[in-house]
């Protein structure tokens, strides 16, 4: 057993915060990913161009650089705009907000490609049949496209989620007290970095292992009809 010298509760709090960052970032990524996928598949050249530029930029800039740009650049921006709208006090960007926006924005680009591929994998004849029966675009999406898209998207979604969870470690750089930062402070106080970073590694491994089992369950759930046929 590792002796955490009283820092166990602190590491636990950091782990909960890491999960919160992961889940909120995932929500943002899902919204951006679906919007990006639909934009790439739309007939509008403007929407296609914006979505392509979005995914190209995100895939070309390192995650750490984007995190620093959003946090420090955002802080400079809001403090320059503030006086223009009559707000003269200095504004501090919340590290949690900066972290989830950055991670969500990054993985929204990856989800865009995942969802786009999943949508293209759905049989177009079924969509056309839905329209022929008089369904609205929303009903076709909800009853035909989305359920089948989920099955095709789950493998890519699962990989993105696992990488997203590990990427949350970057928020410690901008001052958010996640478990990596908590472990860093505990390691500095006790001079036992190996012990605390091993605990962090185990925590991440537990999160990803549980996620893998849940994702496997979802894949089996959405593949039932396909396997029976």
- 10 Å Cβ neighbour count for 169? 16
Confidence of residue 126 (pLDDT cuts 50, 70, 90): confident
Residue 120 tokens, joined: 């293209």
Confidence of residue 224 (pLDDT cuts 50, 70, 90): low
Examine residue 44 and state whether it is found in any structural domain, yes or no.
yes
DSSP 30-47: HHHHHHHHHHHTSS-HHH
> Percentage of the chain with pLDDT > 70?
97
Q: How many domains, in total, are found in the chain?
A: 1
Residue 193 tokens, joined: 């970095």
> What pLDDT, on a 0 to 100 scale, did the predictor assign at position 12?
94
Examine residue 229 and state whether it is found in any structural domain, yes or no.
no
Residue 229 tokens, joined: 């046929």
Examine residue 75 and state whether it is found in any structural domain, yes or no.
yes
Examine residue 13 and state whether it is found in any structural domain, yes or no.
yes
The domain of 196 spans 8-224
What is the rounded CA–CA span in Å between residue 32 and residue 209?
A: 26
Overall average pLDDT of the 2-28 stretch = 92
Examine residue 3 and state whether it is found in any structural domain, yes or no.
no
pLDDT for 229 beyond 50: no
Q: What is the CATH number of the domain that holds 210?
A: 1.10.3720.10
Residues with Cβ within 8 Å of 207's Cβ and at least 6 positions away in sequence, in order, are 18, 19, 22, 165
Examine residue 60 and state whether it is found in any structural domain, yes or no.
yes
Confidence of residue 2 (pLDDT cuts 50, 70, 90): low
Overall average pLDDT of the 144-172 stretch = 92
Examine residue 202 and state whether it is found in any structural domain, yes or no.
yes
**Degrees to nearest 5, angle at CA 38 with 106 and 33:** 20
């Amino acid at each position: 057993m590792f002796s955490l010298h009283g820092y166990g509760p602190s590491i636990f709090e950091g782990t909960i915060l890491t999960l919160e960052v992961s889940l909120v970032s995932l929500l943002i990524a899902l919204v951006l990913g679906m919007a990006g996928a639909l934009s790439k598949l739309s007939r509008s050249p403007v929407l296609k161009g914006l979505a392509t530029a979005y995914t190209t930029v995100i895939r070309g800039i390192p995650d750490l650089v984007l995190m620093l740009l959003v946090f420090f650049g955002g802080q400079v921006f809001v403090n320059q705009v503030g006086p223009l709208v009559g707000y003269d006090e200095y504004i501090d960007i919340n590290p949690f907000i900066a972290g989830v926006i950055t991670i969500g924005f990054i993985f929204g680009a990856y989800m865009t490609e995942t969802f786009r591929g999943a949508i293209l994998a759905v049989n177009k004849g079924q969509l056309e049949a839905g329209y022929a029966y008089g369904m609205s675009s929303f009903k076709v999406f909800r009853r035909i496209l989305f359920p089948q898209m989920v099955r095709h998207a789950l493998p890519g979604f699962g990989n993105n989620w696992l990488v997203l969870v590990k990427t949350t470690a970057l928020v410690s750089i901008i001052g958010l007290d996640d478990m990596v930062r908590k472990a860093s402070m505990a390691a500095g106080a006790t001079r036992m970095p190996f012990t605390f970073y091993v605990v962090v590694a185990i925590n991440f491994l537990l999160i990803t292992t549980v996620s893998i089992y849940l994702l496997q369950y979802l894949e089996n759930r959405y593949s039932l009809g396909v396997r029976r046929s």
